Structure 1
């Protein structure tokens, strides 16, 4: 065990640790164990004394012995769970009393238990992990509050936004300057502005972030690169906010030669704007190359396959597919099958064949052969025991829950609250284990 103190990441105030045991020598050992941990340590000789400390101090983690006179550990933790549900609870038991463990899990809602004599390193790790989890929950609450504030500001901006290109561009620059320390929120602000500016399609169009996510997953793109790719997909048209209405509403092939020259510069202009923000520099590189074709006939630089990042090749396929079916590329919109046929005809020439094949598989899965037990559902249609069949991402493309996680009641409640607070539907895909009873709302969603 290293003698270095445990480090707690980005906690504004020192976390509180409560140690409860009726044996003073045990408490002394525990207090010595955590003397180098960056937290305030409180000790109690009984459950009642522990409750008094909880009333007076902010406690994040509770470590309690199971067998204590007057009030047992499970009884104490049950009261603590009811009155202070956010505190993490760990049980220490010095004997093989399975009933005490069951009571602690059911009544006290403990997250972990250890048998005495405990392993110092394991106990320190459990406590530190609990502090980190609580810290993340606090950070998430602060970020949710920040997002609400930024959304309110965005609403005011949208109501007062001037019609001229220069003023719109200046607004984006001002937003970027104000949000450099929170670039994830900046991405969402940009995406909302672009959605308002771009022409609305006359047909249902797949979400480009879903398409690039599916393609990236099929091609085993590393997680960090997926995040950059998703953000690039959201902001690929960033510099088009300065285009005239005529430029935006006219298919590319019908633009004049002069207009096409101007249009072909939008990837470079968008990338130039984003390069000034350090965390978005890789996003800028994807945007710069997302209209380049493998044979060098793309723009703005005429780059060939070896010079085009894999992430940009994925975005090229997804972007051109959407432009084909919305009529932004050719004179008239193409039906989805014809658009797919076009991409396949250019695979290996314009587009990476692996990305085209992955897009085709994604569209087939979503539109033709969605498996019965892989359904997109709302949080209130979930039941404990269901298993996530795909990664759950937030609006910034960050992973909230990884696929394969079995959902518990507490996780379902958290997802319902997350959807309520964000006011946007969560893309939840689940598998249903055989024999699991599902809610009526889930059955109705399948029928519809």
Structure 2
């Protein structure tokens, strides 16, 4: 018999009373009628189990002596099927053995003796439901905590993925930016070398030798990049000098011309300082004529106070320069140039840099200072080649201007045009003297 004493909300708790005596059930119904919890009633253990299959019960209060299924048997079954349900034993007999069996098999939480004290009985029921609510709240809190932990884990994973993706994008952007600066510096260097009275290709040879020296001196890669840029652009300040000054060899400069000429490192620094990526290269260009003994210019720095890149640039630049008429009335060969550097080591040059140049076994091909034009077909194009003439189609459409440095994308495009018979004209290129990047 399933009797409901009230319709209190589910969250207040649900109690199932089980007793084979109807007067006892009626008494329990009257006792709990006005309480703030829902009550169910059953006259046997079997009926109670049927109710529990259909409804969640928080607390079971069962009589001990019942036919067919005793109280301790019923509570043992409840313990097995519904371990979260609190179990009370309602008994009026003094059979110690049955009570111990109910305690062991049914896992009861409390004994309530017949006849009971109404107030204490209600108090016991409320305490049992309070325990249920606490356990329920703990489970909810545990579930919420676990869900939040999983959510946080997912968010952290997503954040890591986003950071990783953005880091990859940033690195790709940095590589693209570095590639852009490399192309800019090489193109600018090529442009500088075409100024009247400057030696074409000289800056590239200087950069090549600086790169080899940096390898031997184990210069850190970032610093090597600045030295590479400085070597390619070390003559940028000379663009501001008049032709009559640049038209004479350095050894033939006198008086006022020499003073004007000596301003080119400072002019070069000023020209490049506004470009963030070239600030350090600009400083190396400023000090490229500082001598190891302090007799150089513009700041008369001494020894280790001169930036390493500037010391490398000076020695490499003059090793190449004294093999041309630009620095000497009678050029020296490579062996004589090296002897000159060794003779002035510790005075004009850093001894360590001089020995590094010697270890490169560098043989200068002076003819390479006037790069020879070469005519190639579209099949022979390669990244890094420099166009020596404007490249136009048969219809007169300009594809790439003179001085442009071919990239892989450009090469692929030109090969495609050539394969389609849209590019039949000869392509005039100059092979760059510098093929290795620091």
In which range does the TM-score fall when normalised by the shorter chain? 0.3 to 0.5
TM-score normalised to structure 1 length: 0.44
Computing the radius of gyration from Cα coordinates, the structure with the larger value is 2
TM-score normalised to structure 2 length: 0.45
